[in-house]
């Protein structure tokens, strides 16, 4: 039973780490993000139980910098689809071939559309809460199991 609890502590800790990183990224973009017009590479409409999502793929380069940046996530994946706030924003980006993107000047890999769709913090907060809900009770359970084993151990072993 103890190894299973350990797996949940590690997985919950990982979810907590990813969720906290996403929250910090979003707050930093809101506070100190710079804006640039990115080239739209593709567009699509996704349907799900949560509704319709209008998505774009984009890339941009900073002046005097040859590096090309795209939408990324905390796990290091890049060239991802980004949801925009409305169909009107999506239509405007498709027709102009440009979308405004907010990025961190010290790390342009941290970026998102200025008019981001969905709740930029929603999934991050959910990941953080889920991770904590997994890690904390399992860690407490594991400690209690170890204390119980120590108490049950013969006196000569202690």
Task: Check if the beta carbon of residue 9 is closer than 8 Å to that of residue 135.
Answer: yes
> Sorting pLDDT into bands at 50, 70 and 90, what band is 155?
low
pLDDT surpassing 70 at residue 121 = no
Q: Residue 93: count other Cβ atoms within 10 Å of its Cβ.
A: 22
Could you tell me the sign of the dihedral formed by the alpha carbons of 36, 37, 42, 45, in that order? positive
CA 148 to chain centre: 38
Nearest to 90 by CA among 56, 61, 59: 56
pLDDT tens figures, 51-73: 899 999 999 999 989 999 999 98
Q: What is the pTM of this model?
A: 0.71
Provide the number of structural domains found in the chain.
1
Confirm whether 52 is domain-assigned. yes
Q: At what angle do helices 2-32 and 122-152 cross, to 10 degrees?
A: 150
Confirm whether 81 is domain-assigned. yes
What is the domain extent for residue 60?
Answer: 2-152
More confident residue, 62 or 5: 62
Confirm whether 157 is domain-assigned. no
| pLDDT for 51 | 86
Mean pLDDT over 37-42 rounds to: 98
């Amino acid at each position: 039973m103890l190894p299973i609890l350990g797996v949940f502590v590690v997985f919950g800790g990982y979810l907590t780490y990813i969720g906290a990183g996403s929250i910090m990224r979003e707050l930093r973009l809101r506070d100190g993000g710079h804006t640039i017009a990115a080239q739209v590479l593709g567009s699509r409409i996704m349907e799900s139980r949560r509704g319709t999502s209008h998505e774009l793929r984009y890339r941009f380069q900073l002046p005097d910098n040859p590096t090309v940046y795209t939408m990324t996530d905390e796990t290091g994946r890049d060239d991802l689809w980004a949801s925009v706030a409305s169909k009107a924003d999506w239509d405007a980006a498709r027709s102009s071939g440009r979308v405004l993107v907010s990025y961190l000047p010290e790390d342009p890999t941290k970026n998102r559309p200025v008019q981001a769709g969905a709740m930029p913090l929603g999934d991050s907060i959910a990941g953080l809460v889920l991770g904590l809900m997994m890690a904390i009770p399992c860690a407490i359970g594991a400690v209690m199991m170890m204390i119980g084993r120590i108490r049950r151990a013969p006196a000569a072993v202690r």
